[in-house]
């Protein structure tokens, strides 16, 4: 057995669903990525600009690296049935269980140790999602799937429902070949279904309009023009993946990442995000839901209740008008002005405006009041 096939066999033994090898060279999407950055489509994700050189040239990520061992791990779950949910709040399916960074990272490290034991030469580095790498483009080169009109990667058996991970290796391995068979053809379901029209054209996503970016990565207020389009999403968004026919028959792999968190089934936990004492690190230990931090979660909760009004939420939003974060205060004011009409409510927001010291939040409260 040659060295490449041995590496692929070990990766498969460790439970990865997809495995392939790509050369550690600039990927095909490098120039498109730089054009995407130049147009500002990355929003406030400044780290993408900061790591630009390493992202387009993976040799800068691992000096002396020769090959990229790319793996995929499925995370498909049954589609959420809103008819049986305790509440309409929604999180992206991948976030329903344990943090995939930890699970995938540990498995990659085990893979690296196995390769070392087999005498694979040179340094190595593992990357899961957050590293400076155009992983979807490398994965396509390795044959794991093909890039879709939704700017994600589609695999023949898993559709869009899988995580990618990589081992950068010092040993040169023969690449595994071209992209997996399949294409989007004339389908544009993802483009047509996107609630915020974030897919500007096939394969081009403007993160500044993407619900996943707005509810997870973005720090600060959400663009007022996009708030009503967030709908029930409080963390991430699955719309483009749910309408994709390639993922319609993916297997149920729920058990891999543990049972879905209670958040996936109960809007009650979203209410707790508005509490000033809420501690995501303690309450969401081991969950990717920690990513937006307390301010982001509280902001998302306030916007959710502006779109999905509930009697129980009104006192929580009124209390949030005095939150320590101006981002949360303004989101609460927007929600109250939008969906909780009444002279008493307006008076509370007017008082909040009068005592607001943050210039941006004060201007936003003026706008909220003017539009109510």
Query: Residues 165-175: pLDDT tens digits?
Result: 999 999 999 99
**Separation between Cα atoms, residue 82 and residue 140, nearest integer Å:** 34
| Tens of pLDDT, residues 229-242 | 999 999 999 999 99
Interior/surface letters 258-295, b for 16+ CB within 10 angstroms, e for the rest: eebbebbbebebbbebbeeebebeeebeebbbbbbebb
pLDDT at residue 95 tops 70: yes
Q: Is 144 exposed, middle or buried (0-12, 13-18, 19+ CB in 10 A)?
A: buried
- Angle at CA 113, nearest 5°, toward 110 and 114? 90
* Residue 70, strand partner residues: 20, 166
Give percent above pLDDT 70 in the chain: 95
For residue 145, the model assigns a pLDDT of 95
Average pLDDT on 9-18 reads 96
**Separation between Cα atoms, residue 148 and residue 152, nearest integer Å:** 6
Phi, psi angles (nearest 5°) of residue 235: -160, 105
Average pLDDT, the chain: 91
Query: How remote is the C-alpha of 51 from its chain's centroid?
Result: 19
Average pLDDT on 112-137 reads 92
All structural domains of the chain: 1-260 (no CATH), 267-372 (1.25.10)
Inter-residue contact 258 to 95 (CB < 8 Å):
no
For residue 372, the model assigns a pLDDT of 75
Average pLDDT on 32-36 reads 96
Q: Which of 44-48, 66-70, 129-133, 327-331 has the lowest mean pLDDT?
A: 129-133
pTM across the whole model: 0.93
| Tens of pLDDT, residues 262-290 | 454 456 789 999 999 999 999 888 889 99
* Residue 69: C-alpha distances to residues 5, 19, 94, 199 (Å): 11, 7, 23, 30
pLDDT at residue 244 tops 90: yes
Give percent above pLDDT 90 in the chain: 78
Q: Which of 76-85, 167-176, 294-303, 331-340 has the lowest mean pLDDT?
A: 76-85
For residue 89, the model assigns a pLDDT of 87
Closest CA to 265 of 93, 75, 76, 74: 93
For residue 256, the model assigns a pLDDT of 82
Q: Which of 61-70, 150-159, 235-244, 281-290 has the lowest mean pLDDT?
A: 281-290
Average pLDDT on 301-322 reads 95
Query: How remote is the C-alpha of 337 from its chain's centroid?
Result: 29
Tokens of 330: 């303004």
For residue 86, the model assigns a pLDDT of 45
Q: At 98, is the pLDDT very low, low, confident or very high (cuts 50, 70, 90)?
A: confident
Q: 103 or 193: which carries more pLDDT confidence?
A: 193
pLDDT at residue 151 tops 80: yes
For residue 83, the model assigns a pLDDT of 40
**Separation between Cα atoms, residue 33 and residue 49, nearest integer Å:** 10
Catalytic: which of 17, 81, 129, 223?
Answer: 129
**Separation between Cα atoms, residue 277 and residue 269, nearest integer Å:** 14
For residue 81, the model assigns a pLDDT of 52
**Separation between Cα atoms, residue 344 and residue 334, nearest integer Å:** 15
**Separation between Cα atoms, residue 26 and residue 275, nearest integer Å:** 46
Closest CA to 309 of 281, 278, 345, 283: 345
For residue 266, the model assigns a pLDDT of 56
Average pLDDT on 340-361 reads 93
- Look up 129 and say whether it is catalytic: yes
Average pLDDT on 286-309 reads 95
For residue 84, the model assigns a pLDDT of 42
């Amino acid at each position: 057995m040659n060295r490449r096939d041995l590496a692929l066999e070990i990766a498969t033994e460790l439970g990865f669903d997809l495995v392939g090898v790509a050369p550690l060279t600039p990927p095909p999407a490098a120039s498109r990525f730089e054009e995407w950055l130049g147009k500002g489509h990355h929003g406030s994700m400044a780290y993408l600009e900061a790591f630009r050189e390493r992202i387009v040239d993976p040799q800068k990520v691992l000096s002396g690296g020769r090959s990229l061992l790319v793996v995929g791990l499925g995370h498909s779950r049954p589609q959420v049935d809103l008819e049986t949910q305790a509440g309409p709040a929604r999180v992206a399916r991948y976030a329903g269980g344990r943090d995939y960074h930890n699970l995938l990272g540990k498995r990659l490290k085990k893979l690296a140790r196995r390769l070392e034991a087999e005498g694979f030469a040179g340094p190595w580095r593992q990357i899961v999602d957050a590293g400076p790498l155009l992983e979807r483009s490398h994965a396509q080169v390795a044959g794991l799937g093909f890039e879709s009109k939704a700017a994600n990667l589609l695999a023949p058996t898993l559709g869009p429902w899988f995580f990618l991970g990589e081992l950068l290796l010092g040993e040169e391995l023969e690449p595994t070949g071209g992209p997996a068979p399949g294409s989007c053809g004339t389908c544009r379901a993802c483009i047509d279904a996107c609630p915020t029209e974030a897919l500007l054209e096939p394969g081009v996503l403007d993160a500044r309009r993407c619900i996943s970016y707005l509810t997870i990565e973005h720090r600060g207020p959400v663009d007022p023009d996009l708030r009503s389009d967030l709908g029930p999403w409080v963390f991430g968004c699955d719309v483009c993946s749910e309408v994709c026919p390639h993922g319609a028959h993916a297997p149920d792999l729920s058990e891999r990442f543990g049972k879905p968190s209670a958040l996936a089934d109960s809007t009650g936990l979203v209410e707790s995000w508005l509490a000033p004492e809420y501690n995501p690190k303690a309450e969401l230990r081991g969950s990717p839901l920690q990513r937006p931090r307390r301010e982001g979660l509280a902001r998302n909760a306030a916007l959710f209740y502006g779109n999905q009004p509930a009697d129980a939420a009104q006192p929580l939003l009124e209390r949030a008008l005095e939150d320590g974060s101006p981002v949360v205060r303004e989101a609460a004011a927007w929600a109250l002005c939008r969906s909780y009409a009444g002279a008493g409510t307006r008076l509370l927001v007017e008082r909040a405006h009068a005592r607001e010291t943050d210039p941006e939040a004060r201007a936003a409260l003026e706008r909220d009041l003017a539009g109510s």
